[in-house]
Amino acid sequence: MKVTTEMIDAAMKKATEAGLLPRHARREEVCINRELIRMVLTAALEGERKQLKAESPDAALGGGAEAVNTNSSRFSGMPKFVAGMH
């Protein structure tokens, strides 16, 4: 599944309602926050896809399902968005 604009808009709204994002932000901050929300949604969907793949009937038979390493970390690319905001 691909992250859509509607998904990002809904996540931004909920994050703002929850106080995770400011209600009034500069355009630059909004763009940064949208990109960060997109990364979070992408990671969540990727994790769900991997979990479903691991739980498939083929996994029980050893049919090529990959193991999911829950302890691994992946570079998010976040520093390129917040590098100038010290």
Tokens of 71: 């302890």
Q: Is the pTM of this model over 0.75?
A: no
Mean pLDDT by 10 residues, the chain (86 residues): 95 96 95 96 92 74 49 48 47
The pLDDT of residue 61 is 54
Residue 62 confidence (pLDDT): 52
pLDDT of the residue at 54: 87
Predicted pLDDT of residue 18? 96
Backbone CA torsion sign across 25, 28, 33, 34: positive
pLDDT at position 58: 63
